[in-house]
Amino acid sequence: METETLATALTHALNLRKTHPGASAREVLDLVFEGQLISATDADWLQGGNIPVEARVLIAAAFDQAMTESEWLAWLQPSADPALRRSLEIVWLQLIYPQFVQRYK
């Protein structure tokens, strides 16, 4: 999958989640990424902080069992405490991001 396609797929997933609020984040991502593979370039793009906050929240909702979607959304905002945002970046890079890439690679 090319990076532009990945960005488009994430936008589609966000729109689908809005129109189908009863679907879980994992169900939405599975539907959108069915049959599509994330390449090493895509993985680098995801890890590099290029992914929009809303897409990170969707992915975190699908793979994080400890925090809620609303917690991720609040704590990733630019107005959140910088130390907290840095801590969340570590959680993203070490726990959430690898699960997402592993599932769809």
CA torsion angle for 51, 53, 57, 59 (degrees, to 10)?
-10
How confident is the prediction along the chain (105 residues), in pLDDT tens digits per residue? 554 578 888 999 999 999 999 999 999 999 998 877 777 777 777 776 778 889 999 999 999 999 999 999 998 888 999 999 889 888 988 999 899 988 988
Question: How crowded is the C-beta side of 83, counted as CA atoms within 13 Å?
Answer: 0
pTM of the model: 0.86
